[in-house]
Chains A and B, each alone.
Chain A
Amino acid sequence: MAGKTALAQFRDRIGLTRDVRRIVYVYLAAVLVFAAGEIVHPGFARLDSIAAILTVASFVGLVAAGQTFVVLIGGIDLSVPWVLNAAAILLVTSSLGEDGRAVYAVLITLAMGAAAGLVNGVIIAYLGVPAVVVTLAMNGIMEGLTLGLSGGMTCDSCASYAPPVVQDAVHGSLFGFPTALILWIVVIAIVSFVLSLTTFGRKTYAIGNNAKASYLAGINVRLSTVLLYALSGFFAALTGILLVGFGGQASLGMGDPYLFQSIAAVVIGGVYVLGGRGHYLGTTAGAVTLVALVSVLLAMNMPDYGRNIIYGVVILILLLLYGREEKQE
């Protein structure tokens, strides 16, 4: 008991609040996973291997940025998979693989993602319909539109490649760092700044803690909600562009893994799922931990079903751990 108090005093002295502590735990978990990987599969924690894992994690992390925004106000975005997939296909079909059309294609794709999120936000904020249902329906709508308009990926332009500029941009490196990773670091900086140091960020936390009180305090809750869902759609579309730049071509179903992974990253990152608590910095660590864990399992030749099961078990364990911390304090 005395030890615990001493520990608590120490915690207070170095100024770690519970929320900060959670983020630190998640980074420690990421390091542990890399260490475990090195033991199971020597060479796992080499620099180039780490860079490859971080690049893959950046895709999850970017989707999870949008997911973090909506989870912070107690929402959820289940429309991520097909907004992402539609974005990837829209990029190749609108650019036709030509560099000259790349800027136009990227802009129209990002606008499409933001628009899908905007519609989600408007229905959720102004009609009071649960986010789960609206975004689930939006996922179906985007899936049907993508399949229908592309004729099940049989259209002539569907086989186009991403413009070489986009491919080079994703594959390239700057100062020895992969570009995707640098983009992610920039996004981390911007999102952290927005969440921690702007009124918009403060409003987001306020709404997540108590929407009614925020409304009474003069916050335009509906407008913020709409913006946050639009941002989630924007980030899903951005990830779609990066993925198609990374792989060269778009395919059906490429967005499917990102729903589970983005939510998992948010949960592992210690963002409170009822909103109002947590930070994108935690989510980023969550994304790295998750992707590193998957890589370890791949290195161990774990079959698909085993990965599915371990995914689920890891999330349950983390949920239980965080729940327990909640009760103690």
Chain B
Amino acid sequence: MSTEAAIERRRTGRLSHFLGQNVGLVLALAMLVMAVVLYCAVYWVEQAALPGMFELTSTVNNTMSLVLCGMGQAFVVVTRGLDLSVGGVMDLANALAAVHIKDTVGSMVGWSLIILAIGAALGLVNGLLVAIGRLQPILVTLATLSIYQGLAIRVLPQPGGSIPPVYSSVLVNPNGPSALVYVLVVALIWYAFRRSSLGVAIFALGNDEQAARANGIDTVRAQVAAFTLSGLMSGAAGLFLAATATAGDATTGNGFTLSSIVAVVLGGMNLFGGRGSGIGVIAGAFVTTMIVNILFFSNIDPLYQSFYEGLFLVIAVVLGALISRLMRRRS
């Protein structure tokens, strides 16, 4: 009896350990499944058919920007911070892309790399101010948000410019869900990050800064790196935004500061740092888009969109808080 019971106990122990470690990820995936099922149901009622390749393609293409900036936000949230400048970096990347990218391979590749580098540099500025200036992430990024937005309007005062059609079709192919490849790439980036020494350092920093430092982790470097990664991902998100719109607008990125936080929260990341999965954030980004799709097919006035986004955000955080409280009480 004793050995069997011991094995049994260990098995449930392992399962509940996994659930405890990944409760956010599991919830995010469950929410994604629920959202997809609900979407299919609403779509069936309205169109008497199931959504097909076209819907998949447009959903993936519309979500790519959010997947990228949500992942960027995730790197910072792991450190216990928050990056409010995400929208500003996207604005600037979007504006630069619309003004500079021309219809030659050299221009497309060259400027894409330059814009990604600029995104990373903007993130680096945030990181240095937070880590070396020892300032509050929220205030620093609120200030730099204002600065980056100003720079974006300087680059592109009026909506306009253009994105070469070839560029758009490489990033967001309208004829097939090929952007799923990029989703996979983002997921792989997260896996690589999680297994790198930098990932270990950033997670350690988020869990307990003093303990991390005591164990020889360069916390300043980790924090700067997290913000730099966020800037890089936001820059990429701005490129996808420009490619989707096929033109530039120095203000369309603004809403992504909120959306990226929504994606992170729906993705089950712990806002107190040190816990969460980027895979959950990808799911969270898709849930956000699905909510919009569901509202659209339920004939709900689009004016109410931010009401439902806010409501789902509250429900998600409240549920998350209740579940983690429940788990803590049981263990």
Are B151 and A305 in contact (CB-based, < 8 A)? Answer: yes
Residue of A nearest to B255 (CB): A140
Q: Which residue of A lies closest to B310 (CB)?
A: A140
Interface string of A132-155 (1 = CB under 8 A from B): 111011111111110110011000
- Known interface pairs A141-B311, A145-B307; A319-B135 also in contact (CB < 8 Å): yes
Residues of chain B within 8 A (CB-CB) of A151 are: 303
CB–CB A305/B154 < 8 A: yes
Q: Which residues of B have CB within 8 Å of A127? A: 317-318, 321-322
Interface membership of A273, Cβ < 8 A:
yes
Partner of A133, one of B153, B265, B308, B309: B265
Beta-carbon contact of A320 and B306 below 8 Å: no
Does chain A have a CB within 8 A of B301? yes
- Say whether, besides A129-B317, A138-B310, A144-B310, A320 and B133 are in contact (CB < 8 Å): yes
A48 to B151, alpha carbons, bound, how many Å?
Answer: 34
CA A69 to CA B133, docked complex, whole Å: 26
Instruction: Say yes or no: A130-B150 contact (C-beta < 8 A), given A143-B306, A144-B306.
Output: no
Given contacts A138-B310, A312-B143, contact A323 B321 (CB under 8 A): no
Task: State whether A137 touches B313 (Cβ < 8 A).
Answer: yes
* Nearest B residue to A272, CB-CB: B136
Question: Is A105 interfacial (CB 8 A cutoff)?
Answer: no
Query: Are B150's CB and A305's CB within 8 A?
Result: yes
| A263 CB–B CB distance under 8 Å | yes
B31 an interface residue at 8 Å Cβ cutoff? no
Chain B interface main SS type: helix
Give Cα A151 to B301, complex, Å: 9
Cβ of B129 < 8 Å from any Cβ of A? yes
Which chain A residues (230-287) contact chain B, with CB distance < 8 Å? 260, 263, 267, 273-274
| Minimum CB–CB distance for A260 against chain B, Å | 6
A57–B318 alpha-carbon span in the complex (Å): 37
Distance (Å) between the CB of A97 and the closest chain B CB?
24
CB within 8 Å for A307 and B308 given contacts A129-B317, A312-B144, A319-B140: no
Q: Which residues of B contact A147 (CB under 8 A)?
A: 303-304, 306-307
Q: How far is the CB of A267 from chain B (nearest CB, A)?
A: 6
CB distance from B141 to the nearest CB of A (A): 10
Shortest C-beta distance, A266 to chain B (Å), equals 10
With A143-B306, A309-B151, A316-B129 known as contacts, the answer to whether A260 contacts B142 (CB < 8 A) is yes
Query: Are A140's CB and B135's CB within 8 A?
Result: no
Whether A312 lies near B303 (C-beta < 8 A) is no
User: Which of A133, A139, A142, A273 lies in contact with B317, CB distance below 8 A?
Assistant: A133
A227 contacts chain B at the CB level, 8 A cutoff: no
- How near does chain A come to B86, taking the closest CB pair, in angstroms? 13
Closest CB-CB distance, B60 to chain A, in whole Å? 24
Chain A residues near B140 (CB-CB < 8 A): 316, 319
**The one of A128, A138, A142 that contacts B321, using a Cβ cutoff of 8 Å:** A128
A138, A151, A260, A305: residue with the most chain B Cβ atoms closer than 10 Å: A305
Check B82 for interface membership: any CB of A closer than 8 A.
Answer: yes
Query: How far, in Å, is B187 (CB) from chain A's closest CB?
Result: 24
Residues of A within 8 A of B314 (CB): 123, 134, 137-138, 141
> CA A305 – CA B147 in complex, angstroms?
8
Task: Tell me the smallest distance from the CB of A146 to a CB of chain B, in Å.
Answer: 9
Distance of A140 Cα from B310 Cα, bound (Å): 5
List the B side residues contacting A123 at CB < 8 Å.
314, 318
Residues of A within 8 A of B306 (CB): 140-141, 143-144, 147
Interface residues of B in 254-279 (CB under 8 A from A): 258, 261, 265, 271-272
From the candidates B153, B301, B308, B318, name the one contacting A305 in the complex (CB within 8 A).
Answer: B153
> Is the C-beta of B146 less than 8 angstroms from some C-beta in chain A?
yes
Q: Report if A308 contacts B (CB, 8 A).
A: yes
Report A-chain residues with C-beta under 8 Å of the C-beta of B228: none
Of chain B, the residue at the smallest CB distance from A140 is B310
Proximity string of chain A (297-317) to chain B, C-beta cutoff 8 Å, 1 when within and 0 when not: 000000011111101110110
Residue B90 at the A interface, CB < 8 A? no
A127-B318, A130-B272, A151-B303 given as contacts; is B310 within 8 A of A260 (CB)?
no
A76 at the interface (CB under 8 A from B): yes
B189 at the interface (CB under 8 A from A): no
CB of B211 within 8 A of chain A? no
The 5 closest A-B pairs by CB, nearest first: A144-B307, A140-B310, A308-B150, A312-B147, A312-B146
- Chain A interface (Cβ within 8 Å of chain B)? 76, 123, 127-130, 132-134, 136-145, 147-148, 151-152, 260, 263, 267, 273-274, 304-309, 311-313, 315-316, 319-320, 323, 327
8 A-B residue pairs with Cβ-Cβ distance under 8 Å, sorted by A, are A128-B321, A133-B261, A133-B317, A134-B317, A136-B261, A140-B309, A148-B307, A311-B147
